[in-house]
Structure 1
Amino acid sequence: MHRKFIIIGGGAAGYFAAINAAEMHPDLEVIILEGSNGVLQKVKVSGGGRCNVSHACFTPNELVEFYPRGKKELLGPFHQFMTGDTMEWFENRGIPLKIEDDNRIFPQSNSSQTIIDCFLESAKAAGVKVKISTRVDAIEKSRDKFIVKTKSENFTADFLLVASGSNAKVWAMLDGLGHSIIKPVPSLFTFNIVDERLKDIPGTSVPKASVKVLNSKLAEQGPLLITHWGLSGPGILKLSAWGALEFHENDYQFEIEVNWLSKKFEIVLEHLKSVKKEQSKKQVILHSVFDEISKRLWEKLVIAAKIYSDSQWAQLNNKQLEDLANQLTKCTFKVNGKSTFKDEFVTAGGIDLKEINFKRFESKLHKNLFFAGEVLNIDAVTGGFNFQNAWTGGWIVANSISPLTPKGGI
């Protein structure tokens, strides 16, 4: 009689674990229970629909630095399976990947559908059963097995993997099994800012800005994007991940300082003084004197520095030059709230990591109960790191569920 491996959650970690388990252990009956009527929805929308598979960081000690929660716990697992292994896994299945200039890894097709098709085809070939619209209502322990109850039928599992992501109902069921749940809060979000300097210029971006939270140690660098509601982009999203708990405690009311150029005030001021000499007859507002700053943003910052629209460089006094340098390097904004990505929603919070054996991603409270992905209190900055956590956890679970010698591995 086949033993059953039941996976709650049809996301990245669940599929990865299911495929590897089915390929490694042919004696297993592998079943994915997906609550919605679709599969791999987060994979579909990730990376702007291109699927940011991972990040080109190939040293475990460096890779863990991108995880605000889970850094210590993931070091060992990343020695077992990490970025290079992920790339090999997909490429062995005919999915070539590419590393972009910012080190994010995408399929060469630039389409998340390529990754979805790979999972669906691999799952089918390995004999994985996928049951959509099968929402779990209860999880019970019966001796050495688990009873997973749904409206349509009950499933008895020899091995149970919970890979349901940020799911309050499933967390409540796990709480009933004795696990501690760290209250989830949003981890990746943009900053809501109402400010004249950002008004009417959505879509404007800078390639490398520095952002720091005033009266805090939080600071990040990266591309910034001006949106209809404030500031976004990798620099802001990274900051939101590291400051998730602090921002939540402050009800998302705080101040930030933006250095649009990531250059020191003194260096920028000297450049402005040299421009004043070299372009004395030109109007200040007409042309940005920094390649990184678009004409639209430049106009806003010039006006904020109280420089008249018809002013020529020669007419600027030292105070105006200093004010403009301040707008470029010490631009302060009041943040009043956040905007989360509903489709790519990531949270800080979940199952307390102290209750997990990370050599197997197994519960310390219940043998053969496993967890992978965002159901755990692990989250990362943007850039493919959350997916890498999912792949690593799923692969280790697949290796841990059976004492039998695997058929093949990856």
Structure 2
Amino acid sequence: MLKIGIIGAGAAGFFSAIHAAEGGAKVTILEKTSKVLAKVKISGGGRCNVTHAAFENPQLIKNYPRGEKFLKKVFGHFSVKDTVDWFESRGVKLKVEQDGRMFPVSDDSQSIIDALQQAARALQVETIFNFPVIEIRKVGDGFQVISEKKTLEFDRLIVCIGGFPKIQGFDFLQKLGHTIIPPVPSLFTFNTPNEPIKKLMGISVPDAFVRLEGTKLAYRGPLLITHWGVSGPAVLKLSAFGAQWLFDQDYHANAHIRWVHDLSEEDTLDKLNRFKHEHPKKKIMGNPLFGIPTRLWEHLAEKSDIESQFLWYEIPKKQLNKLVQNLFCYIVAIEGKTGFKEEFVTAGGVDLNEVHPDTMESKIVKNLFFSGEVVNIDGITGGFNFQAAWSTGYLAGKSSKINA
């Protein structure tokens, strides 16, 4: 009987194991801790953001800062629709939220965990806990997997260890000859410790546009002001696409915020002048425009040197131009980052040039496969990292049985 080892008991590991075991192979998951599917459990505030309603692959791949071209082939084998069908065929109905994220109807990540564990049990997948791998040795066409206390042998091996904050976490793969792209954090909020905007913590705007000064890196979406800086989907997505650049800047940069994404500078000035003409005796402070929250509007006016009692007809041209600037291009100095809640995502990992995108098999080591974030793939927030785990896990599991 073919023996297939899976290193890592996360989403990618379980999905790999299930699809590897469907042909009758003996499949064993090796997990370094005493828990399985830990990230699935806490994802989405305990609801598990299973995937995203991006059912067309050209649309889907745009949400991956690294690995877009590679994933085009991967998603051709297992798509978002396949993920939805797989879980729903096992009694887990999924729903689409307004922003496209997909969750189980139960709003409970345990539904996803139960489906994965039941499928694995039905296929007699074994899990060995507290098995931290310290070395992998190639023996003929197979492998020896070594921990401190035990050595196990397998015909095929699928590595699903996720991402690591430091390159040392990939040591045993480097020793096998693989190139590792040094990991850097992805998905984080921007710290702005010296900016007065922090006093507005808790305020959000629904559709801002954020750009990193000196680059073409930009993203739009909801933005949240926190007690340490700026967050929300627009910032998190920008942090993912700008992960390497921000790392190279030691997380010191300027971010430009346009509070209403679809207004040009000229449009902004025109609308302000029109309101000034139509409502000359209204207070500037007390009449927020463009749907901007009152406290934020007051802050922008104050930053534009507009006094609290100013009426619209009294505003000097200089202050009006400053208000336009603060609405259209509000600059904050980034000084550091903060990890995003339970999300732990890194850019980096096994070089995609050394992996076959149609099988997830190593081009360097025969019968060695990968799935999940161990390779240099990462998605923005919204279910995209799980989708990559399901798709690469399916492919690695199915492919590991071929030519057995």
**Shorter-normalised TM-score: what interval?**
over 0.9
Give the alignment's TM-score, normalised by structure 2. 0.95
- Worse overlay, 374-383 or 118-127: 118-127
Q: 1:286 is paired with a residue of what secondary structure?
A: coil
Task: State the match for 2:360 in structure 1.
Answer: 361
Task: State the match for 1:3 in structure 2.
Answer: 2
CA distance in 2, matches of 1:355, 1:332: 41
Task: State the match for 1:401 in structure 2.
Answer: 400
Q: 1:284 is paired with a residue of what secondary structure?
A: coil
Alpha-carbon deviation of 1:117? 2.0
CA distance in 2, matches of 1:147, 1:339: 39
User: Contact conserved, 2:12 with 2:392, CA < 8 A, in 1?
Assistant: yes
Alpha-carbon deviation of 1:372? 0.6
* One-letter amino acid matched to 1:33: L
1:46 aligned residue (33, 40, 43): 43
Task: State the match for 1:333 in structure 2.
Answer: 332
- Structure 2 unaligned residues grouped into runs of 5+: none
Mapping of residues 99-118 of structure 1, within 5 Å: 99-118=96-115
Q: 2:281 is paired with a residue of what secondary structure?
A: coil
Percent same amino acid at aligned positions? Answer: 46
* One-letter amino acid matched to 2:104: P
User: Contact conserved, 1:25 with 1:404, CA < 8 A, in 2?
Assistant: no
- Worse overlay, 269-278 or 5-14: 269-278
Q: Is 1:37 aligned with 2:27? A: no
User: Contact conserved, 2:61 with 2:68, CA < 8 A, in 1?
Assistant: yes
Q: CA RMSD in A?
A: 1.7
1:136 aligned residue (133, 138, 158): 133
Decide whether aligned partners of structure 1 residues 342 and 33 sit closer, same or farther in structure 2, where only a CA change above 3 A counts. farther
Task: State the match for 1:285 in structure 2.
Answer: 285
CA distance in 1, matches of 2:42, 2:325: 38
1:79 aligned residue (73, 76, 80): 76
Alpha-carbon deviation of 1:404? 7.1
Structure 1 residues 131-156: Cα deviation after superposition (integer angstroms, max 9, x where no partner): 22221122111111111112342211
CA distance in 2, matches of 1:197, 1:205: 16
Structure 1 residues 151-180: Cα deviation after superposition (integer angstroms, max 9, x where no partner): 342211111110001144551001011111
Mapping of residues 8-407 of structure 1, within 5 Å: 8-22=7-21, 24-26=22-24, 28-167=25-164, 168-262=167-261, 263-291=263-291, 293-341=292-340, 343-403=342-402
* One-letter amino acid matched to 2:175: G
Decide whether aligned partners of structure 1 residues 126 and 394 sit closer, same or farther in structure 2, where only a CA change above 3 A counts. same
Q: 2:134 is paired with a residue of what secondary structure?
A: strand
* One-letter amino acid matched to 1:279: H
Q: How many pairs does the alignment contain?
A: 401
Alpha-carbon deviation of 1:354? 1.0
Q: 2:219 is paired with a residue of what secondary structure?
A: strand
* One-letter amino acid matched to 1:236: V
Alpha-carbon deviation of 1:342? 6.3
Alpha-carbon deviation of 1:19? 1.6
- Structure 1 unaligned residues grouped into runs of 5+: 406-410
* One-letter amino acid matched to 2:29: I
Give the alignment's TM-score, normalised by structure 1. 0.93
Structure 1 residues 234-265: Cα deviation after superposition (integer angstroms, max 9, x where no partner): 11111111111111111111111110101112
Task: State the match for 1:408 in structure 2.
Answer: none
Q: 1:161 is paired with a residue of what secondary structure?
A: strand
Decide whether aligned partners of structure 1 residues 196 and 69 sit closer, same or farther in structure 2, where only a CA change above 3 A counts. closer
CA distance in 2, matches of 1:305, 1:11: 50
Structure 1 residues 371-392: Cα deviation after superposition (integer angstroms, max 9, x where no partner): 0111001112222111111111
User: Contact conserved, 2:349 with 2:373, CA < 8 A, in 1?
Assistant: yes
